[in-house]
A and B are shown apart, each in its own frame.
Chain A
Amino acid sequence: MSDLRELYQEVILDHNKSPRNCRVLDEPDARHAEGYNPLCGDRLTVYVGTDGDVLRDVSFTGEGCAISQASASLMTEALKGLTRAEIEKLKDAFIKLVTTGETTNVDLGKLRVLGGVHDFPMRVKCATLAWHTLNAALNNDRNTATTE
């Protein structure tokens, strides 16, 4: 049972119940991308508003399991105001954490609470969906990002 508490930490349950930045980004030059996890049917849309190299605002809409909702919510909180290079660094460190459980010298802050996911291989894609979708939005990729 301790494993389950590792996975479903309070922060995750809280972000699932009250996701932050869960809205359409309603500004003229906002970009968005859709993400889909065919295995569980989770769907996300991630919206980004940029000022040159800086991510000024980021939000998401969609439905999915607690892990994917919380991951999207936490991601939006963590990334506002960062540059593309900083986002890239966080993304790599985060994906490493949830797939292998390994930490790096990059400070993931609150995102660390998703570390328990690596013990649940079937759920890793739930945690990474938002990040793949963010990537597509930043790159203006019109294809649906999938976890496959």
Chain B
Amino acid sequence: MTQTRTFDPTQVRADFPILATNVWCKPLVYLDNAATAQKPEAVLQAIDRYYREQNSNVHRGVHFLSAQATREYEGARERIAAYFGAERDEMIFTSGATASINLVAQAFVRPRVGPGDEILITGMEHHSNIVPWQLVCEQTGASLRAIGLTDSGELEEFTFAANTKFVALVHTSNALGTVNPVASICARARERGIPTLIDGAQAVPHGRVDVRELGCDFFAFSGHKAFGPTGIGGLVGRSTVLKDMGPWQGGGEMIRLVTLEKSEYAAPPARFEAGTPNIAGAVGLGAAIDYLDALDLDAAAAHERDLLAYATDAVKAIEGVRVIGEAAHKAGVLSFVMEGAHPHDIGTILDQEGVAIRTGHHCAQPVMARYRVPATARASFAFYNTREDADALAAGLHRVRELFN
């Protein structure tokens, strides 16, 4: 691992080749990081090198390349687990946060709930932390309840019920930017013996996460939002919980012994990794985590906070703009609507200026309904964004104002 560097946004930009591209003959201003983040050279090289020099299947061959691939894959697991403050066997590779949540819903929660039981989520979840629970409720007769949201975009009082059997909540909201007090919620759930899942998809790109400090039982995340490749992510699970959890999908890799009558399952994490995994993805994610680990993440977070405040001020200064989500503690996301201009038109006009933002419901339709907007425009930031990017956003919005006055 490399040494921690002092943080300089213009210096880290050079690590991300795509940031130097032009869009419509204008320099790309990438403000859609909450959808997916860009990849540093180190990640691109790790994937390339894996396919050129190490490609083989894992855990299966006695030959040289298979041993190499296995070492790379398991090495990535070990480093990723360590980064999150977990043990190696607590880190399960999945295809991303969505798969991680579905895994917990089907393998852990489904067999443990029934009619009269409650699964508790919040009103600011991504669809991927809503629909898997609705499926479990359909399958088991359990019910789903969501904690409401305040006008500023924070959680209302987090109340457990006597029949609450599981809590799943988002760490950092992709639609509002709100950072929830997950550690204290997990602690209160734990006092009541209620297991917890944290959807950390938007938390990992904005700061170091230690699952022991969070105190959750499951932590789900996506590689591609954390500067790694698409199609890979993880579920970090508490070993004492994983031990008693049955498999979700069956296949190769996840078994110890198979006869035509019955199979014995492998121990975690292999029990939850049926089939040939996304090996190159795991290698790429390992490189992304190494990259994060070598950054001064506190300084990066301070830079991001400053940038978000700067961009928020600039955007709010524009006539007719209403920011959706003004929680006291936010990270990375600036969602807004503009009177007289639909988010889609805003997105198209900004795109012509080289500024990439996301417009729509952000896979959080209940959030749109709560704040009575059909959609929002969302600028989302990473540590490689600068004040110039925020200026380009504001300039683009002034252009929107001119057209839609």
Contact = CB atoms under 8 A, between A and B. Distances in A.
Contact of A66 (B342, B360, B374, B375): B342
A106 interface: no
Nearest to A120: B348
B375 A41 contact: yes
A100 B241 CA distance: 56
Contact of B404 (A7, A39, A66): A66
A17 B341 CA distance: 10
A13 B374 contact: no
A19 B359 CA distance: 23
Interface residues of A, number: 23
Contacts of B341: 66
A41 B352 contact: no
Given A41-B375, A64-B342, A13 B403 contact: yes
Interface string B342-366: 1111001100100000011100000
B368 interface: yes
A49 to B, nearest CB: 27
A13 B404 CA distance: 7
Name the residue in B345, B360, B404 with the highest tally of chain A Cβ atoms < 10 Å from its Cβ.
B345
B251 interface: no
B111 interface: no
Given A8-B403, A41-B368, A67 B360 contact: no
A122 B348 contact: yes
A123 B348 contact: yes
Given A4-B352, A8-B403, A66-B404, A43 B344 contact: no
B360 A39 contact: yes
Nearest to B374: A41
B348 A7 contact: yes
Interface string A46-70: 0000000000000000011111010
B357 to A, nearest CB: 13
Contacts of A120: 348
Interface string A64-95: 11110100000000000000000000000000
A93 to B, nearest CB: 24
A3 B348 CA distance: 11
Contacts of B368: 41
B340 interface: yes
A133 B293 CA distance: 52
Given A4-B352, A40-B360, A17 B374 contact: no
B352 A40 contact: no
Contacts of B359: 40
A126 interface: yes
B341 to A, nearest CB: 8
A66 B345 contact: yes
A137 B359 CA distance: 29
Interface string B32-68: 0000000000000000000000000000000000000
A60 B343 CA distance: 21
B340 A17 contact: yes
A126 B352 contact: no
Given A8-B403, A41-B360, A67 B375 contact: no
Interface in A1-33: 1, 3-4, 7-8, 13, 16-17
Given A13-B403, A41-B360, A1 B340 contact: no
A42 B348 CA distance: 15
A39 B358 CA distance: 11
Contacts of A43: 374
Interface in B183-232: none
Contacts of A3: 352
Contacts of B361: 41
A144 to B, nearest CB: 15
A4 B345 CA distance: 10
B320 to A, nearest CB: 13
B349 A4 contact: yes
Contacts of B360: 39-41
A8 B352 CA distance: 12
Contacts of A13: 403-404
Contact of A123 (B343, B344, B375): B344
Interface string A124-147: 001000000000000000000000
Interface string B328-346: 0000000000001111110
23 contacts: A4-B348, A4-B403, A7-B348, A13-B404, A16-B404, A17-B340, A40-B344, A40-B359, A41-B360, A41-B361, A41-B368, A41-B374, A42-B374, A63-B374, A64-B374, A66-B341, A66-B342, A66-B404, A69-B342, A120-B348, A122-B348, A123-B348, A126-B344
Given A3-B352, A66-B341, 11 more contacts: A1-B352, A4-B349, A13-B403, A39-B360, A40-B359, A40-B375, A41-B360, A41-B368, A65-B343, A65-B345, A69-B342
For the complex of A and B, the 7 pairs showing the least CB-CB separation, nearest first, are A65-B342, A65-B344, A41-B374, A41-B375, A40-B344, A66-B345, A65-B345
